Structures are given as C-alpha cells and as structure tokens.
Amino acid sequence: NRHYDIGNYTSNAGVVVPCPDGTFVTFSGAYDVGRGGLTFYRIAATGDTLYTKTYWYPERTVLISGGASSALLSNQDIVYCGGITDSGGVNINSTIIRFDYFGNMLDYYQSPISTDDKLNTLCILGDSVVVAAGFANDSATNVADILVIRYDLNAQSASHYIYPMPSNQTAIRIKAL
C-alpha cells in the first residue's frame, strides 16, 4: 500500500490503466492556489512512482472522482475522459485527453456544449475513435440527459448526441459491440 501525494490538494484517483509492460497509469486532480490541474502518474509493478506530469489550468479544477474513464490504445497511448469545471464547481465541461506513454498530452478536446456536461465512461472503436458517454444538464429544466460524444483522434473532430430523459440520467458504462 502506497500513498501518492502531489501537494496542497489531491482529488481521488478515479481510473487505473494497466499497461502491457507491467506498469500502470492513474490520474489525479490537482489544486494549487488559483489553479487546478490533472496529474498523470506512471507507477511500476512494485508500486514505485516512475514519473508524474501535471497539467495546470488557471482557475479550473479537473474532476476525476465520481466518474471518469481511461483506455489504453494499441500504440500505448492512453485516452482519458471526464470533465473540468471552474474553481467554484460550476460550469462543468466534458473533456477527452490523449497522452503518450510518457504522459505527454497529444490531444485535448473540451465540449462546447453550454450546459453542465461530464463524461463518465468510454470505449475505443479501432484505434482512432473514442465514444464517450456521460450527462448534459439542461439548465432550463435542471434535468440531466444522456450525452454521447464521438471523437475521432486522427481528424480531431467530434460529434455530440444528447438523448433526452424524463428524469436525471447519466451514462455509467458504454461498450462497443
């Protein structure tokens, strides 16, 4: 059992991605005065931290716990989905991020939807299409609908689909068939 601390504030690590070389990757939200971030950890099979990399966002907080997801691509890149919000905890936006093996950020996509929206789960189609699902909150009715985003990593383009629900709903699992 090991404790990984990145300083002033750490949200719970919400996802763990096992890698073929025996290492694993996890992510944590980070907070420092006036900024929030996302920390990428690569951990050895022994539990030792091989390296970390934190990406900071001014006046933003990255949401990890309570639903986020990651997947390993065949080329060893890792895709993360979740959400970011301002430091007050409002205005959540869905986020899809791709990292290489070493934690370098390759792609960053943030949903332009004007409602509170967050991704909870993802699946990979082939090696280039991420299908992620979560919720989009309709501020007029305060009802959360199902949100699905199809993001093409090669074209760096996204399509959004919102499925209205009669009561608050969120996608918790998505699977390619």
Q: Give per-residue pLDDT as tens, 36-82.
A: 778 889 999 998 999 899 888 766 665 554 457 888 998 999 998 88
Looking at per-residue pLDDT, the higher value among 92 and 154 belongs to 154
- Look up residue 33 and give its DSSP letter: T
The yes-or-no verdict on residue 106 having pLDDT over 90 is yes
C-beta atoms surrounding 132 within 10 Å: 30
Instruction: Please report the pLDDT score of residue 2 as a whole number.
Output: 47
Looking at per-residue pLDDT, the higher value among 75 and 1 belongs to 75
- Candidates 82, 58, 67, 60; CA nearest to 130 is 82
Q: Provide CB contacts within 8 A for 114, sequence distance 6+.
A: none
Round to whole Å and give the CA distance between 23 and 21. Answer: 6
Looking at per-residue pLDDT, the higher value among 41 and 127 belongs to 41
Instruction: Please report the pLDDT score of residue 50 as a whole number.
Output: 93
How high does pLDDT run on average in the chain?
78
The yes-or-no verdict on residue 10 having pLDDT over 50 is no
Q: Degrees (nearest 5) of the Cα angle 65, 109, 118?
A: 35
Give the model confidence (pLDDT) of 140-177 as tens digits.
777 778 889 999 998 888 998 888 876 766 666 666 65
pTM given for the model: 0.81
